[in-house]
Chains A and B, each alone.
Chain A
């Protein structure tokens, strides 16, 4: 190959120029670099007086057909790699003045003319390649075996750990369910006994005398029940989104009252502002109050720009039976998103 051109770097003298062929990585020094370049000195920079190269060299075996780049070694040892590939068969006076082969802050010019190539196609290199391949395959297998043995730290192990944790969680839930069923059976027997006791009391003489007083007490006791709690609209529960939240009054209970007030705090993780809050019970939305102060939460989590007062309070009706509760927030006056969903069981004991 015949290669000629010039290069110059304004920051530092270029000590050395090489042609670099990638596969296999082969560096061919352009030993002619340093030839006089008065034309470059006149046109580009007065210091560029010996910045030419012009030489012929044999293309390294096995690199024929590959592209190459030039690299320029500066006086501090830094090697500036040319930016784009150069064909090894650029004909005649084809010239490159692109940034591709320029050192930084530099200019260069290249004439490249391939005149010959050496190609060694004997069987020995192929055999050597096979041996090397077998050796590296062996080494790759060793790494795998090592990973299998020490999989405590591997990604696969992380997945297995997560799977084991989920199985354990499932077993715990089954246990809880079993315990709950047993407790329900005990409570059922207790309720039957109390029912019998109640029937006995109501049929007694003293109950007949106290009955008018009980009626008066019932009238007064009902007066504390809010009568204005009605759902503001009816619609299906909203889709979920990611919130940071906490509920002061846990919704995970058996609801013994006719109404329940859910208190807590929340904000969406996407940084939007909560503009309304509500509890959706079987498609009926009970809108609550939001924007309540939660100084301890702010102290713990830092100021929430979009939700500086993240507290809320929602009162909703808990009629007899099983319902779906969806705690929901309206975000930026745009859409409702569910914070959490659960099924609830209501057994109001008061008449």
Chain B
């Protein structure tokens, strides 16, 4: 047996990664109705709680990257537009993108009174639907926990491409070095191996987020610990 033959047999013996990478299907299945979709993306079904948590996310943006009334903003993984519904009133135009068309259907209903919004279904991981140098701010909140590391980086480098020079980016995730993050980790650990959902939350570290932004080309990179105990990485595309 030579090494080439063994390598071929080894390749054939490998199992597929499973459903975690099949984001479109995983999230479309959780959009049967608005209540199910709301629980999937926000753990709430009532609008008041949804608006309150949205305000936390917007505050995080305001105090880290800033929001201007003249900003063209893109949210990666907007779900049912929890944040966009409120943020759209504070910027010039809000674009919401999501890989799940089902989520966007609910988002469209919730955004009926928000004329300066556009929803775009992503064909796959990445932002190839958008042109380069177009946005002032690209952000992605409470999404990284559901993505594999390669896909997290894919969105960071795509954000770099579509931001205009001087544009800002914001990405967050939970981290283990926080009470909430550790509890989330323990909750995941308690799920039996064969029952782990494909979208189970997984943490990020400071080093991981800084590396993504640095490798993508961002400058002025800063890491924030937010009051919500999320870890946020922000950066700016060089002029």
Binding site for B on A (CB under 8 A): 20, 22-25, 69, 71, 76-84, 100, 104, 129, 132-133, 135-137, 139-140, 142-144, 146-147, 150, 152-155, 158
Pick the contact of A158: B65, B121, B164 (CB < 8 A): B121
Q: Which 6 A-B pairs have the closest CB atoms?
A: A25-B66, A83-B227, A155-B121, A22-B62, A153-B123, A140-B93
A112 CB to nearest chain B CB (Å): 17
Pick the contact of B64: A23, A81, A147, A158 (CB < 8 A): A81
Q: Mark B118-136, 1 if CB is under 8 A from A, else 0.
A: 1111110000111100111
- The docked-state distance in angstroms from the alpha carbon of A22 to that of B223 is 17
Pick the contact of B227: A24, A81, A140 (CB < 8 A): A81
A78→B225 contact, CB < 8 A: yes
**Which residues of the partner chain B approach A140 to less than 8 Å between Cβ atoms?**
72, 92-93
Which residue among B108, B119, B120, B226 has the maximum number of chain A CB atoms within 10 Å of its CB?
B120
B225→A80 contact, CB < 8 A: yes
A23→B206 contact, CB < 8 A: no
B201 CB to nearest chain A CB (Å): 20
B120→A155 contact, CB < 8 A: yes
**Total interface residues in chain B, CB < 8 Å:** 40
B92→A137 contact, CB < 8 A: yes
B109 CB to nearest chain A CB (Å): 13
Binding site for A on B (CB under 8 A): 60, 62-72, 92-93, 95, 101, 104, 108, 118-123, 128-131, 134-136, 164, 178, 206, 222-227
B177 CB to nearest chain A CB (Å): 9
B134→A143 contact, CB < 8 A: yes
A78 and B224 contact, Cβ closer than 8 Å, known pairs A132-B70, A136-B136: yes
A155 and B224 contact, Cβ closer than 8 Å, known pairs A23-B66, A24-B66, A132-B70: no
**Which residues of the partner chain A approach B69 to less than 8 Å between Cβ atoms?**
133
B130→A71 contact, CB < 8 A: no
18 residue pairs bridging A and B, Cβ less than 8 Å apart: A23-B66, A24-B66, A25-B63, A71-B224, A80-B224, A82-B227, A136-B70, A136-B92, A136-B136, A140-B72, A142-B131, A143-B135, A146-B130, A153-B129, A154-B121, A155-B101, A155-B108, A155-B119
- The docked-state distance in angstroms from the alpha carbon of A150 to that of B128 is 9
**Which residues of the partner chain B approach A24 to less than 8 Å between Cβ atoms?**
66, 68
**Which residues of the partner chain B approach A81 to less than 8 Å between Cβ atoms?**
60, 63-64, 224-227
A79→B129 contact, CB < 8 A: no
**Which residues of the partner chain B approach A139 to less than 8 Å between Cβ atoms?**
72, 134-136, 164
Chain B residue nearest to A100 in the complex (CB):
B227
